[in-house]
Amino acid sequence: MELYFLGTNAGLPTTQRNVTSVALRMLEERRCSWLFDCGEATQHQILHSPLKLGKLEKIFITHMHGDHVFGLPGLLSSRASHEGSPPLTVYGPQGLRDFLEATLRATQSRIDFGLEIVEHSGGLVFEDEQIKVEAEALEHRIESYGYRVTEKDRPGSLNMELLQEWGVRPGPEYGKLKNGEPITVNGRTIEPEQVLGPPKRGRIVTILGDTRPTAGIHPLALGADVLVHEATFTDEFADLAYKYYHSTAVQAAEAAQKAGVGELILTHFSSRYKDLEQLQPLLAEAQAVFPRTQLAIEHQSYPITAVKGVE
């Protein structure tokens, strides 16, 4: 599981950075990728990345501002041109369905891969046997959400030495034990708890939309292994950030510290910061509060490692 940033700029693209989009790659876990926001030219960014449209399973939209959604109709249209593309679900706030249906209808775009549009107002957005996704309202000029992606605990490792001692060879029996089913070998019934180690804690990733500091951030970020938080301005522009419903790097770091996250990744940078060098003050300000902070850099992967967070 890893994050891959396709766009890290706020509001407008620049020659150095595109507008907002980040992928959660889960190729080993479920052979797919999820996308969070889809600003203009996201599909162009994908062309220069290891991502594949055919592996895209879900898209989560944080809010309906153009720098987070204008790339969506084009991406869906291009995906439809790939024969045999599997179904895809797009989640987001009220207005998402009208936006997509109107743009796809006006451009006579044919989407034949099974497109489902799910509008939500927070709470549990998606759940299956592997993962659940929850959303919480943030504080922005329009309805905006953050998403908490929780990987469910996985079975512990098998005690290979004990299994070999009991005459259990690698094969289907291993899978049954991993799934919590007892097996019988050479007249011996083996219960899963006899040969399985402690469960492996699932990883938690929190990705926020645009927001001022607000109480809704804490339950989303609590104990997360990685928090992706906007940092539109340095602290000297805190008044401007508040006026336009955004956050500073310091405010992002304070949220990470309070929630006890494993790592903070800053994104959604104002175009006043032209290049990586000019982003260094944001990083320095955040690290002074929360040392485990990184800048989101486009076309760079960020592996997600489970760490012990706040219980």
* Helix, strand, or coil (residue 44): helix
Query: What is the rounded CA–CA span in Å between residue 27 and residue 94?
Result: 30
Query: What is the rounded CA–CA span in Å between residue 209 and residue 214?
Result: 12
The closest alpha carbon to 211, from 197, 199, 227, 224, belongs to 227
Instruction: Tell me how far CA of residue 29 lies from CA of 2, 25, 283, in angstroms.
Output: 11, 9, 31
Q: Which residues contact 187 (CB under 8 A, 6 or more apart)?
A: none
Q: Which residues contact 272 (CB under 8 A, 6 or more apart)?
A: none
Which helix or strand (DSSP H or E) is residue 79 part of? helix 72-80
Find the catalytic residue in 37, 67, 210, 225.
67
Whether residue 67 lies in the annotated active site: yes
Q: Which residues contact 43 (CB under 8 A, 6 or more apart)?
A: 53, 71, 74, 75, 78
The two structure tokens encoding residue 81: 């041109």
The closest alpha carbon to 305, from 216, 169, 200, belongs to 200
Q: Which residues contact 144 (CB under 8 A, 6 or more apart)?
A: 62, 63, 93, 137, 138, 209, 210, 211
Say how many C-beta atoms besides its own lie within 10 A of residue 258's C-beta: 14
Catalytic residues: 67
